[in-house]
Amino acid sequence: MLEAAEVVFASQGVGAPVDEIARQAGVGVGTVYRHFPTKEALYQAIVVDRMTQLVREADGLATAEDPGAALFAVLSRIVEVATQKRDLADALSRAGIDVKTASSDAFGEMRRAVDVLLRRAQAAGVVRADVNLPDLVGLVAGTCLAADHPGSDAGMTSRMLGIVWDGLRTSHAG
């Protein structure tokens, strides 16, 4: 149901009727309303679901062989998801739904998972030791926020993240 709602919101905007979401999910409208009394509740569930998936991916990489690659993979995924879903998040934010507050537990879980990866990468000597979690979160959040800056193009987000990553690493290949 969440996946169906995400597809419908993304293609038709947040004004899409709940019927359409129910049809896409192959359930009755009543079933949707029973689980999610408001469209806001439905959207917040989507965000939390997406964050939970990211946290699961991050946790899955907590014992990866290459701690640097693991951290970079997770940061890339966060930026990818955050920038892809921006339009939807913006539309809902304008509609008065504060996504960040609603999913603050999910954000906390994400910070914890990223912190594990950061510490491992630092312990392995791959990432500089003088960086802390807020610095890293700030740089990644800044990259996401800057991705819709005037003059941005399709490759901008990955170039910016690449630059941040080169700055985070203790050594550089080229």
Binding residues for a copy of itself, rule: CB under 8 A, are: 128, 130-131, 133-135, 137-139, 141-147, 149-153, 156, 159-160, 162-168, 171-172
Q: How far is the CB of 142 from a copy of itself (least distance, A)?
A: 3
Q: Burial of 33 by CB count in 10 Å (0-12 exposed, 13-18 middle, 19+ buried)?
A: middle
State the minimum distance, in angstroms, from the CB of residue 46 to a copy of itself: 23
CA of residue 98 relative to chain centroid, distance: 15
Tokens standing for residue 9:
């919101």
With CA atoms as reference, report the closest residue to 92 among 20, 23, 44, 149: 44
The nearest distance, CB 55 to a copy of itself, in angstroms, is: 18
Report how far residue 80's alpha carbon sits from residue 172's, in angstroms, rounded to the nearest whole number.
24
Whose structure tokens read 């290459």?
66
Distance between CA atoms of residues 64 and 85, nearest Å: 28
When computed from its CA atoms, the radius of gyration of the chain, rounded to whole angstroms, is 18
Output 61 or 79, the one with its CB closest to a copy of itself.
79
| Residue (52 or 158) nearer to a copy of itself, CB | 158
Minimum distance of a copy of itself from residue 6's CB (angstroms)? 26
Looking at beta carbons only, is 21 or 160 nearer to a copy of itself? 160
CB-wise, 23 or 128, nearer to a copy of itself?
Answer: 128
